Amino acid sequence: MAIPNKSYNNVIHFLSRLGEYHEQIKTVSVGDIYEIDLSKQTMFPLLHINPVNVTTGESELLFNFQIFVCDLVSEKENWQNYQALQLTKLVDNKNNEQEVLNETLNIAHDFISMLRHSVQQSMNTVSDINFPVYFTQDQFTIEPFSERFDNLLCGQVFNIGVRVMNDFDSCAVPLEGNPGSSKGAGY
């Protein structure tokens, strides 16, 4: 029987919670990339979850997302002095973009690790065989980006697929006259 709590909403909630658990992430948002709130009220670093699509397998659903981990770049004169102490003469940074790219890459790595190794899922104290398990596999390409809006935003973006088991049980389909259905169950 299909487990009704492995819905789109539950996968989004699970990914959002991973972002909330991470101590460096200050804001989690979901939606189209153009819906990222770049106002000065948004706390950064930001984890943005962009739903892409859902594909089906024999007994699973694969929810595909584009994940953005981003932060604002600070353009201060003292960055140049700090960077000069830390790096060679060949680097002439007038902002902390390199540091932001480094930190957002670390956060992206943490996010993938949590899904690969089920760190948060193992914290489940409920002994329920139907407890939803979300996992990922594959290799990931984490790509740096830099965008100039009213401010300079940079970070990392990667695509990730979240797999959940699903047996496509037709008995629970909310159809009139279907004896196994309870209207709206699992939706």
pLDDT, mean of residues 26-49 = 86
Phi, psi at 111, each rounded to 5°? -60, -45
Q: Which two tokens stand for residue 184?
A: 């709206």
Cα end-to-end span (Å), the chain: 15
Distance CA(31)–CA(47), nearest Å, equals 11
Domains of the chain in sequence order:
8-172 (3.30.2000)
Place 1 in a pLDDT band, splitting at 50, 70 and 90.
very low
Place 2 in a pLDDT band, splitting at 50, 70 and 90.
very low
Find all residues with CB under 8 Å of 17, minimum gap 6, and list them: 120
Q: Is the pLDDT of residue 3 over 60?
A: no
pLDDT tens, 56-110?
Answer: 988 888 999 999 999 998 876 655 555 555 555 555 567 889 999 999 999 999 9
Alpha helix segments (H runs only) across the chain: 8-21, 77-86, 97-117
What is the amino acid identity at position 176? E
Segment of 1-10, 13-22, 133-142, 164-173 carrying the highest mean pLDDT:
13-22
pLDDT (0 to 100) of residue 119: 46
pLDDT tens, 101-159?
Answer: 999 999 999 999 888 876 455 455 555 555 667 878 789 999 999 987 667 889 999 99
The DSSP bridge partners found for residue 53 are 64
